[in-house]
Amino acid sequence: MFKIKPIPSDRLPTLLRLMPKAELHMHIEGSLEPELMFALAKRNGLTMPYADVEALRGAYVFDNLQDFLDIYHQGTLVLRTEQDFYDMTTAYLTRAAADNVVHTEIFFDTQTHTGHGLSTEVVINGLHRACVDAQATLGVSAVLILCFLRHLSEAEAFECLEQAEPFLDKLVGVGLASSEQGNPPEKFARVFAKARALGLRAVAHAGEEGPPAYIWSALDDLKVERIDHGVQAMNDPLLMARLVKDKIPLTVCPLSNLKLRVFPTLAEHNLGRLLDAGIVATVNSDDPAYFGGYINQNFTETFEALGLGAPQAYQLARHSFEASFITDARKAQFIDRLNTTFESFN
Ligand code: ADE
Ligand code: ZN
């Protein structure tokens, strides 16, 4: 393993910002900032149920995942056209590039939007066009992961996948999001099997609020390659051993966990303990417009709260490439860039 030079603690935020990284867990609808939400509402002739941006931001107080999902769903109502999806995605990619995100695997769902009368085509084409343009204008590579909504039925997930099939070349994988408790992964075993048979990669949210049993089910029933969140795995030593042995990455989102009260304070977050246990953990922003920050905010606040340093920064950035769905050759190129950043940093 590459040897990490010690650095003074006041230089750590600069290193965290400069190091190239991949973001593997963010929901594009959760990157819709209040300012853009109001602008899209105006463009589409819609009235926002809040007086202004401050009033809307003031409503972002959550006790749990469901509280958040209700307000998040309301925010998606301003998205009406392909250009809206393009603009939202371009705003996220521009912000991510400023944090030195060089590759990102973006979650989105179509069921929310088809539920509002939009077509799958409008959603996917808007997102995909923004990803293609970002490679040219920002030098960021971006791919798309379609998430099924787990509070809906298996039949609705099959319908969602069928509607997405004409656009398979614009997707890298499928995921599972929305209300976790009471909606275990096994409900979607057959639709995940179909998605994998179509050549899509598979990930799932599990062990965010839900028990370790949901993580086992995501691995064994859905056969996912990564677990989104997964922080509850620490309550099950056998599961921890499995994650380490099989090098199953966890896409951890510390500020999300704080805002949704998965951990009472960031100082009690288990990111450092997951790394110490040998887990391929990564840091991600989840829904940055709602949870108080983009990826670098997640890094800097969590590193400060947990007293982490340059070795963990290197590990987390390296894991983000290793856990991504890019080719081994591209992983090696990004890791070379990461090594150069650490070697030349002083
Ligand atoms: N959809 C958007 N953010 C989510 C989260 N943190 N958990 C589950 N579903 C989500
Ligand atoms: Zn998420």
What is the distance in A from the centroid of ligand 2 to the CA of 218? 15
Residue 4 domain flag:
no
Alpha helices in 99-236 (DSSP H): 111-114, 120-138, 154-164, 189-197, 212-220
Count of domains observed in the chain: 1
Which sequence positions are flagged as catalytic?
208
221 within a domain of the structure (yes/no): yes
Distance, in Å, from the CA atom of 105 to the CA atom of 173, rounded to the nearest integer, reads 9
Q: Establish whether residue 251 lines the binding site of ligand 1, counting it when its CB lies within 6 angstroms of any ligand atom.
A: no
Q: Give tens-digit pLDDT for 85-128.
A: 999 999 999 999 999 999 999 999 999 999 999 999 999 999 99
User: Which of these, 254, 256, 234, lies nearest to 244 by C-alpha position?
Assistant: 234
Bridge partners, 278 (sequence order): none
Query: Is the distance from the beta carbon of residue 286 to the nearest atom of ligand 1 less than 6 Å?
Result: yes
Residue 3 lies in a domain: no
Cα 298 from Cα 120, distance rounded (Å)? 32
Which of 218, 307, 289 is closest to 29 using CA atoms?
289
pLDDT of residue 346: 87
pLDDT in tens, 193-240: 999 999 999 999 999 999 999 999 999 999 999 999 999 999 999 999
How many Å lie between the centroid of ligand 1 and the Cα of residue 178? Answer: 5
Spatial distance between the Cα atoms of 190 and 196, rounded to a whole number of angstroms: 10
Residue 28 belongs to domain with CATH number = 3.20.20.140
Is 0.95 topped by the overall pTM? Answer: yes
Question: To test the ligand 1 pocket, which listed residue (69, 183, 291) has its Cβ within 8 A of the most ligand atoms?
Answer: 69
What DSSP line would sit under 65-80, residue for residue? HHHHHHHHHHHGGG--
Gap between the Cα atoms of 141 and 138, Å rounded: 9
Tell me what pLDDT residue 5 has.
Answer: 86
Euclidean distance between CA atoms 326 and 141, whole angstroms: 10
Residue 160 lies in a domain: yes
Give 46 Cα–ligand 2 centroid separation in angstroms.
27
Q: Does residue 2 form part of some domain?
A: no
| Segments in the chain below pLDDT 70 | 1-2
pLDDT at 1: 60
Q: Quick check: CB of 287 below 6 Å from ligand 1?
A: yes
**187 domain residue, yes or no:** yes
Residue 27 Cβ inside 6 Å of ligand 1? The answer reads yes
Residues around ion ligand 2, judged by CB within 5 A, are 286
Instruction: Tell me whether residue 150 is in a domain.
Output: yes
Instruction: State residue 3's pLDDT score.
Output: 82
Q: Which residue range forms the structural domain that includes residue 111?
A: 9-344
For residue 1, being part of any structural domain is answered with no
Query: What's the one-letter identity of residue 44?
Result: N
**Is the CB of residue 111 below 6 angstroms from any atom belonging to ligand 1?**
no
Query: In 3-state terms, what secondary structure has residue 53?
Result: helix
